Chain A
Amino acid sequence: QGQLAQSGAEVKKPGASVKVSCKASGYTFISYVITWVRQAPGQGLEWMGRIYVDNGNTHYAQKFQGRVTMTTDTSTTTAYMELRGLRSDDTAVYFCARATSSYEGDHFDYWGQGTLVTVSS
Chain B
Amino acid sequence: QSVLTQPPSVSGAPGQRVTISCTGSSSNIGAGYDVHWYQQLPGTAPKLVIYRNSNRPSGVPDRISGSKSGTSASLAITGLQAEDEADYYCQSYDSSLSGSGVFGTGTRVTVL
Contacts and interface: CB of A to CB of B under 8 A. Distances in A.
Interface of A: 35, 37, 44-47, 50, 59, 61-62, 95, 97, 100, 104-109, 111-114
Contact of A105 (B40, B48, B92, B106): B92
Contacts of A114: 45
Given A61-B97, A108-B48, A111-B46, A47 B103 contact: yes
Contact of A107 (B51, B102, B104): B51
Interface of B: 2, 33-34, 36, 38, 40, 44-48, 51-52, 57, 89, 91-93, 97-106
Contacts, number: 66
Contacts of B105: 44
Contacts of B36: 106-108
B101 A111 contact: no
B107 to A, nearest CB: 10
A95 B44 CA distance: 10
Contacts of A106: 34, 36
A38 B104 CA distance: 13
Contacts of B99: 59, 104
Given A44-B89, A45-B91, 10 more contacts: A46-B103, A61-B97, A62-B100, A95-B45, A106-B36, A107-B48, A108-B38, A108-B91, A111-B47, A113-B45
